[in-house]
Amino acid sequence: MKTLIVFYSRTGCTRTAAQALAAQLGADLEELKETADRSGPMGYVSAGRDAMTKRPSVLLPTTRQPADYDLVIVGTPVWAFTMCPAIRTWLSREAAQIRRAAFFCTQGGSGAERTMQHMEQLIGRPPVARLTLCDKDIRAQACADALAAFAAACGKL
Ligand SMILES: Cc1cc2nc3c(=O)[nH]c(=O)nc-3n(C[C@H](O)[C@H](O)[C@H](O)COP(=O)(O)O)c2cc1C
C-alpha cells in the first residue's frame, strides 16, 4: 500500500511524529511550508489569529500528488482549537484527490477533537484512523506505543 504523510510543523513536534510514522510505514513525506513567517512572538500571534479566522495560507509548491496514494495521513498542530492554516489550505485544495485519509494532531492539552471534526468536514467523510499526541509527550519521547498502534492500524487498511 502506498502511503503519503502530509504535515505542517512550527516547532518540530508534528514533524517528529510524522517522521516516526513514515519510518514505520515506509511512507513518503510532504512537509508543508508557507510564505508567512510564523517565528517568534509575532509569528505566534499571527498563527493563532489566522487559524481562528480560517485565513488561507500561501503554500510553497508541493511535490506529491495525493491521488497517487492509497492512504494519505494528514498531521497538524492544534492552533486555537482547530487545524493550522497550512493544513486547512492544503486539505481544501486536495480533498477530492484523497482516496482514504487518516488524521493525527499534536496539541498542548485540548482541541484535538474539534480539530479532527473540522478536518473531517473539509474532506467530507470520516478518516479511517485518528491519533492525538501531546507536545510534552513527543518531546519526552513517550509516544512510541501510540505511534506504533496508529501505524499498525494504518498499515492494516
Ligand atoms: C498559535 C498557536 C495556538 C495553539 N493553540 C493550541 C490549542 O488551542 N490547544 C492546544 O492544546 N495547543 C495549542 N497550541 C500548542 C500546539 O498545538 C502544540 O505545541 C503542538 O504540538 C505544536 O506542534 P509543532 O511543534 O509541530 O508546531 C498552540 C500553538 C500555537 C503556536
pLDDT tens digits, 100-110: 999 999 999 99
Read off the pLDDT of each residue in 63-77 and give the average, rounded to a whole number: 98
Protein residue whose Cα sits closest to atom 6 of ligand 1: 79
pLDDT digits (tens, 9 = 90+) for 19-61: 999 999 999 999 999 999 999 999 999 999 999 999 999 999 9
* Domain count across the chain: 1
**Model-wide pTM > 0.85:** yes
Helices (H), 6-104: 13-25, 40-52, 85-94
Helices (H), 74-143: 85-94, 112-123, 135-139
- Mutation test of ligand 1: which of 110, 135, 138, 143 has the most ligand atoms closer than 8 Å to its C-beta? 135
- Quick check: CB of 106 below 6 Å from ligand 1? yes
- 35-59 burial code (b ≥16 CB/10 A, e <16): ebebeeeeeeebbeebbeeeeebeb
- Quick check: CB of 12 below 6 Å from ligand 1? yes
- Quick check: CB of 104 below 6 Å from ligand 1? no
Q: Which pLDDT value is given to residue 155?
A: 84
Strand partners for 74: 6, 103
User: In CATH, what number is assigned to the domain containing residue 87?
Assistant: 3.40.50.360
Domain around 96: 3-155
CA–CA dist 97, 87 (Å, integer): 15
> What is the distance in A from the centroid of ligand 1 to the CA of 146?
19
CA–CA dist 8, 18 (Å, integer): 9
CA–CA dist 142, 111 (Å, integer): 20
